[in-house]
Amino acid sequence: MRVRRADWAFVLAVVAVVVMVSLLPSPRDRNPPIPGSPEHRAVSSEKMCSTCHAVGQSRPLTERHPKRQDCFRCHKPNAGG
């Protein structure tokens, strides 16, 4: 069995698509980091986030924000401080 030029073109196209998809930024990369403010530097657990970001608190989360309690999964600490 002989491999045709069209078969090689298809394999190359599939490899190119896989490489391009793997280079796309993850949703986590697009999330804002945890600010470097003094209040946020003191946060040591995700439970502390709800003291300001719960409904009725000073900075509640938007309606579009997922209702979860694993903040550090999506938001990384700000290295800039």
Q: What is the pLDDT of residue 74?
A: 87
* Residue-range domain boundaries for the chain: 5-74
User: pTM, whole model, 2 decimals?
Assistant: 0.56
Structure tokens at 49: 């986030």
- Other CB atoms within a 10 A radius of the CB of residue 34 amount to 16
pLDDT digit string (tens) for 31-69? 888 888 898 988 888 889 988 999 899 999 999 888 888
| Percent of residues, the chain, with pLDDT higher than 90 | 36
**Nearest to 78, CA basis, from 27, 41, 23, 29:** 41
Average pLDDT, the chain: 87
Q: What separation in angstroms does the CA of 48 have from each of 43, 77, 81?
A: 6, 14, 19
